[in-house]
Amino acid sequence: MEEPSEKEDLVVGQSNKVHYSQVSVKISSIILEPFQWLSMLCRELNPSFVFGVLLVYGLSQGFAGSFFGVVTDFYWKDVQKLQPSAVQMFMGFYYIPLIMKPLWGLLTDVFPISGYRRRPYFRIAGITGVVASVIIATYDKLAIPAALLCLVGMVAAVAIADVTIDACIAKNSIERPELAADMQSLCGFVSSIGALVGYSTSGLFVHSFGAQGALGLMAIPSLLLILLGFVIFELRVRHPSKKENALEKVGVAMRGMGRTIRCPQVWKSSLYMFISLALSFSTHEGHFYWYTSSKGGPAFSQEFIGMIYAIGAIASIVGVIIYHKFLKDYPFRSLLFYAQLLYGFSGMLDLAFVLRWNLRLHLGDSLFIIIEECCSRIISRVRWMPMMVLSAKLCPLGIEGSFFALLMCIDSVGSLLSKIVGALVLHGLHVTRTDFDKLWVAVLIRNLLRFATLGMIFLVPDVNQSEILVSEEVVDAGEEEEMERLQLVKMEGKVEEEEII
């Protein structure tokens, strides 16, 4: 065989260089794409707004929320030594600040402080969180009511900051509807990143400092919320409302919210989100106690518990990417239908684990819980993202903070109900710190109710996520001077007549 000529070698070499150059360009574009996307959002919206989303959703909600969830589980279990059903019932109190979100939203909309509607409320949230964190970390043998009050205060700090930034998101979603899905993708992505860090470090800090000492670290995100209250961009109200005018605006806002919630596309969507959360009652505390038990459970360590949740946070990021890349252009109804269906199937992995079927399949506990956590988190995130986009699009401009908070309040009531029902089910089945014989029954009932939610999917509007749902004013003529640009986004086209469910 003849050896290849120098010319052929040169052609092959150039071809390889071109190939490697193309691969390098593709890798570079993949790496740079998130930064270009973030730069686009800063350019189209506002850099300080994007910074606020990163801080509130990434650090306050993502990191602090995940860290708080794990550390408080160990606090109630190891410090206060309570039963799982009691802990889950106490966790229902965490939802009180979340249920009060309409109040926080109303305050930010119609009660500016020193001429600002948003900035002072970030500072209030930060101060609340710092005080509650310092108290629970400083005082030993804190009574259960006092400890619960501090923990609720820490949740309140997150809730107030969340409502304030959500008002900004809802306003931008109305003014820039083409970026609504991108904003929710940003929220979901940074929240998952923060949760990853929080879950990864929670077990280590509990092991090193104890649950009470670890709770003291929650003061750091709260301090940064105070900083955000000084740096986020906001136009100052030129003529701050007097008390009488503010009260009149409250009445206008309340009437506007009442008219909005009566619109079919609004109350039907809200009802579906409420049902989907409430019917899937929580068995979290039963699982947590079982995870750490050596009597019938896998006896996971504190560090491994944190690692499981951290892996789940990575899976949440994958869920956000899947939604952002492939699913944000699908209609709300079909996307939520398939997401809920997969959500029901993912719950069956919980059931298989509690019944220890994984051992029959020769899958170790550690491997199986990682598989289960990844599947559950990806599907949960894909299910949750379109709900948030839909909620933002249902808000009327002018009271967007109040109304988005109202929708989140409805969701929080659903979550609260899921906690309470879950606690009652665990108590009724006699699931305790050491007895988990009937835990599988609770999981099975929960999974069946998840499938039952599919029967209510007709409540979700069958429209694309990029569509504008508006074009009709909901303010009375005499109220237009009192609240500027208060309008209702109504679904274009023919709307079904309101039904009694």
Decide if 14 is inside a domain.
Answer: no
CB 385 within 8 A of CB 185: yes
Helix axes 332-354, 284-291, angle to 10 degrees: 40
CB-neighbour burial class of residue 41 (10 A; exposed 0-12, middle 13-18, buried 19+): buried
Into how many domains does the chain fold? 1
Q: Residue 490 has what pLDDT?
A: 34
What the block records as the tokens of 310 is 């951290």
Please check whether residue 453 lies inside any domain of the structure: yes
**Structure confidence at residue 447 (pLDDT):** 92
Alpha-carbon distance of 389 to 384, in angstroms, equals 9
Long-range pairs for 1-8: beta carbons < 8 A, 24 or more residues apart: none
**Residue 454 Cα distances to 25, 57, 460, angstroms:** 45, 30, 11
Question: Is 20 inside any structural domain?
Answer: no
CB within 8 A of 486, min separation 6: which ones?
252, 253, 256, 396, 397, 398, 399, 473, 474, 475, 479, 480
The CATH number covering residue 365 comes to 1.20.1250.20
Asked, for residue 28, whether it belongs to a domain, the answer is no
Tokens 């206008």 — which residue? 252
Count of CB atoms situated within 10 Å of the CB of 36: 10
Which segments in the chain show pLDDT lower than 70? 1-30, 238-247, 249, 398, 400-401, 468-501
Q: Please report, as a single letter, which amino acid is at residue 95.
A: Y
Give domain status of residue 491, yes or no. Answer: no
Q: Which tokens is 182 given?
A: 């991108």
- d(Cα 412, Cα 101) in Å, to the nearest integer? 9
The model scores a pTM over 0.75: no
Residue 495: count of CB within 10 angstroms of its CB: 12
Q: What is the DSSP string of 416-480?
A: HHHHHHHHHHHHHTT--SS--TTHHHHHHHHHHHHHHGGGGGGGS--SBTTS----B--S-GGGT
Q: How many CA within 13 A on the CB side of residue 235?
A: 5
Q: How far apart are CA 86 and CA 203, in angstroms?
A: 22
Number of H helices, E strands in the chain: 19, 0
pLDDT of residue 469: 60
Tell me which residue range forms the domain holding 140. Answer: 43-233+240-479
First to last CA, the chain: 83
Any domain includes 498: no
Does 23 reside within a domain? no
The closest alpha carbon to 215, from 309, 301, 130, belongs to 130
Task: Estimate to the nearest angstrom the gap between the alpha carbon of 397 and the chain centroid.
Answer: 23
Residue 25 covered by a domain? no
